């Protein structure tokens, strides 16, 4: 409950009407639990949008944002979670996901 209350407080403080959360169907337990907390905390927010990670399962996007100009910034932000990358880099996986979603738009 503390996590949900903390998220609710941030929503109120920042007067958020759009929230982005990781997709809940994910193999990483931290992703699943944080997504469920956000879902609970945003019950009064008009727009909750999900994004995928390399560990998301069966994610079917219907809104796309071109991140060509910001993918390096995205990678820098992801790598702030240093403990998650002890076994190597995710650069290619993340860039590959971005290329795949870009290819979906060109169909």
pLDDT, mean of each 10-residue run, the chain (107 residues): 93 91 96 97 94 93 90 89 72 88 81
Q: How far is CA 23 from CA 37, 55, 96, 106, in A?
A: 12, 10, 18, 24
> For residue 52, what pLDDT is reported?
93
> For residue 86, what pLDDT is reported?
67
From the number of C-beta atoms within 10 Å of its C-beta (0-12, 13-18, 19+), residue 94 rates as middle
Coil/strand/helix, residue 59 = coil
Q: What are phi and psi of 56, to 5 degrees?
A: -75, 150
Using a cut of 0.85, tell me whether the model's pTM lies above it.
Answer: no
First to last CA, the chain: 43
> For residue 13, what pLDDT is reported?
94
> For residue 91, what pLDDT is reported?
82
């Amino acid at each position: 409950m503390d996590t949900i209350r903390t998220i609710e407080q941030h929503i109120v403080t920042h007067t958020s009407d759009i929230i982005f959360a990781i997709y809940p169907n994910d193999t990483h337990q931290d992703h699943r639990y944080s997504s469920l907390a956000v879902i609970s905390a945003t019950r009064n927010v008009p727009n909750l949008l999900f994004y995928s990670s390399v560990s998301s399962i069966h994610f079917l996007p219907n809104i796309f944002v071109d991140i060509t100009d910001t993918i390096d910034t995205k990678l820098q932000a992801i790598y702030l979670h240093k403990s998650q990358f002890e076994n190597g880099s995710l650069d290619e996986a993340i860039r590959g996901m971005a290329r795949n979603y870009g290819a979906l738009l060109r169909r």
